[in-house]
Amino acid sequence: EAGVAQSPRYKIIEKRQSVAFWCNPISGHATLYWYQQILGQGPKLLIQFQNNGVVDDSQLPKDRFSAERLKGVDSTLKIQPAKLEDSAVYLCATRGGNTIYFGEGSWLTVV
Amino acid sequence: AQTVTQSQPEMSVQEAETVTLSCTYDTSESDYYLFWYKQPPSRQMILVIRQEAYKQQNATENRFSVNFQKAAKSFSLKISDSQLGDAAMYFCAYLGYGGSQGNLIFGKGTKLSVKP
C-alpha cells in the first residue's frame, strides 16, 4: 500500500513570496490533515478535511495560509505572502481507522 | 481541551540497555487513543506503538512496550535492547474518540540519544 505522498520535499523562498505544497493521501482515507512543525516543537494542526469539507481550520492563519481539497483526494496548502516565522516542516497526514499516517514532510525555509 | 506533556526534553541510553520515556495527558474523555511516534532527522513521523484507552492490556511491538495507567493519565514508552537506530525525537500523541472528527495532539517531544 502506497503511503502519504508529499511534494516538494524542500523549498527555499524569500519573504513575501508564495509557495504551495501538495499532498496525495493513502487511497480511501477520507480524513486529511496539514500540520506545521517548527524546529524543536511538536506538530501543530493547521487544517483538517473530511473528504472535501473543512472540519477544523481554527489554527490556520487565514490572512496568509489557504488549503483546499477540491475532489476529496489530493490537497494543496498555500502560503502567500510568506514570513520568516513560516520556516517549518509541513506534514500531511491521513487517517485510516484509528491511526494517523504521515508523509515525509515538506521543509520550508523562508529567507 | 486535551493536553499532552512530555517532561523529559532529552534522554540518553547505552546501546543494548533499556530506557523509559514519560508522557502524561489531560482529558475529560473516557475513550481515546494514545500513540508514540518516532521522528528521525528526516522529520517523517513513524508510528511506533498505539494504545486504545478501553484496553487494560499494555501494547507491545517487538522491543517497544508501553505502561498505560489510565487513572493516572500516564503513558510511558519502554525501549528494550536499545539500538543506534533508535536515536530520534519521540512524540507522545493523543487522539480523541470522536469518530473521524478527531486530530492528534502532540507533546513537545523527547530527544533520545543512544551511546555505542
**Span B61-88, pLDDT tens digits:** 999 999 999 999 999 999 999 999 999 9
- The answer to whether residues B46 and A99 touch, using CB atoms and an 8 Å cutoff, is no
Report H helices in A15-102. Answer: none
Q: B99: pLDDT confidence band, cut at 50, 70 and 90?
A: low
Cα-based torsion angle of the residue sequence A95, A98, A103, A106 in order, rounded to the nearest 10 degrees: 80
- Hey, is the C-beta of B43 within 8 angstroms of any chain A C-beta? yes
Instruction: Answer whether B44 sits within 8 Å of A105, measured CB to CB.
Output: yes
d(CA B88, CA B67): 20
Q: Name the residue among B50, B103, B106 with its Cβ closest to that of A42.
A: B106
Distance, in angstroms, between B116 CA and closest chain A CA?
25
Instruction: Answer whether A99 sits within 8 Å of B35, measured CB to CB.
Output: yes
**Residue of A46, A100, A106 to mutate, testing the B interface (most B Cβ within 10 Å of its Cβ):** A100
Strands B10-14 and B46-52: unpaired
**pLDDT score recorded for residue A99:** 86
Question: Is B100 a residue whose pLDDT tops 60?
Answer: no
**pLDDT score recorded for residue B59:** 92
* A100 neighbourhood in chain B, CB within 8 Å: 35, 95, 103-104
**Span A43-80, pLDDT tens digits:** 999 999 998 899 999 999 999 999 999 888 999 999 99
Among chain B residues, the shortest Cα distance to A57 is held by B103
Q: Residue A84, SS3?
A: helix
Report the range of poorest mean pLDDT among A31-45, A50-64, B91-105.
B91-105
Could you count the other beta carbons within 10 Å of the beta carbon of residue B107?
Answer: 23
Q: B22: pLDDT confidence band, cut at 50, 70 and 90?
A: very high
Which residues fall within 8 angstroms of residue B86, CB to CB, at 6 or more apart? B13, B38, B79, B112, B114
Tally of CA atoms within 13 A in the half-sphere of B36 that contains its CB = 30
Q: B102: pLDDT confidence band, cut at 50, 70 and 90?
A: confident
**pLDDT score recorded for residue A72:** 82
Among chain A residues, the shortest Cα distance to B105 is held by A44
**Span B32-57, pLDDT tens digits:** 999 999 999 888 899 999 999 998 89
Could you count the other beta carbons within 10 Å of the beta carbon of residue A30?
Answer: 16
Phi-psi sector, A77: left (phi>0), alpha (psi -120 to 50), beta: beta
